[in-house]
Amino acid sequence: MSSSSAGRGSDGPQSYRSVNQANWDERAPAHANSPDYAVAEFITDPHRISSVVEFDRPLLGNLSGVRGVHLQCHIGTDTLSLARLGARMSGLDFSPAALRVARDLAARTGADIDYHEADVYAAPDVLGRGGYDLVFTGVGALCWLPSVSRWAQVVADLLRPGGRLFIREGHPVL
């Protein structure tokens, strides 16, 4: 559930954003092979839903026909889960390594998910404004942000009137 920090100053020879992105690029293959993410199970079981989305399922409600975007989607298991519950999903992440896994997972499962590589703060420019019924973000996405208020404006820009934000947050160390 990666993010970035456009607008933040340099932390020495590399910017915070580039260090953060390198961190997530390195994690993506490890997460793809981790039993915690269960990528192989998503491929073999067309009804597999991530534990994050399964936990939130009662609060998510009926997603049939909902146009959703998963910000900071990482390797796409939650994005695929939302699509399997009926949402028409897009995903956005700044890690090309994570998006390679997400796109491969979508292709191997026949899911019609459009993934976009971009800084989360650029999401309205990349995805368009006001086109989504649902903005979703999962565990550990907000703690990486240098500006939650700027991120909230991104969410507001993406949502249609009457649309909703669904956050399930907790620090990944927990």
For the record, the structure tokens of 141 come out as 């996405």
Query: At a CB cut-off of 8 Å and minimum separation 6, what does 69 contact?
Result: 89, 90, 91, 92, 123, 127, 132, 134, 135, 136, 158
Residue 173 confidence (pLDDT): 60
Residue pLDDT, tens place only, 67-120 = 999 999 999 999 999 999 999 999 999 999 999 999 999 999 999 999 999 999
Residue 80 CA to chain centroid, in angstroms? Answer: 10
Of 5 and 62, the structure prediction assigns the larger pLDDT to 62
The residue type of 104 is D
> What are the structural domains of the chain?
16-167 (3.40.50.150)
Instruction: Give the span between the Cα atoms of 170 and 80, in whole angstroms.
Output: 21
Residue 2 confidence (pLDDT): 44
Helix then strand then coil, in percent of the chain rounded to 5, is: 45, 20, 35
Give the pLDDT band (50/70/90) at residue 145.
confident
- Radius of gyration, CA atoms only, the chain: 15
Residue pLDDT, tens place only, 1-47 = 444 434 444 444 458 778 777 778 788 888 778 888 889 999 999 99
Q: Report whether 65 contacts 44 (CB < 8 A).
A: no
Residue 49 confidence (pLDDT): 97
